[in-house]
Amino acid sequence: MRRIMGFIRDHKSLLLLLLIALFLAACAHQPTVEAIKPPGFLQGLFQGFTMLFSFIGSIFLDVRIYAFPNSGFYYDLGYVIGAGCFFGGLGRSR
């Protein structure tokens, strides 16, 4: 128990940032099939960056981690770049 409390005390700002990111990701919504303009590159980039939080939300709620319908290649490209940026991509390799 002391170990957990010590971790929380030492990493308060990180935990607060993760909590805020989780709340922001929970506010996201999926467009309907009748959407006038399907999500494109920038929305794919954002959704790829928040993929982990969307996945956690999908365990408890009816949330998709991938937009449907989307604009195709450019949405996919943004999604992959966003996910790569969030999970480290090539920045952690030597």
Q: What is the per-residue pLDDT across 29-75, written as a single tens digit (0 to 9) for each?
A: 665 666 567 788 988 888 888 888 888 888 888 877 888 777 788 88
> What local confidence, expressed as pLDDT, does residue 89 receive?
64
pLDDT in tens, 73-86: 888 888 888 888 87
Residue among 45, 29, 30 nearest 83 (CA): 45
Question: Which sign does the torsion angle of CA 9, 49, 42, 55 carry?
Answer: negative
**Looking at residues 12-32, what average pLDDT do you find?**
76
Residue 86 dihedral angles phi and psi, to the nearest 5°: -70, -45
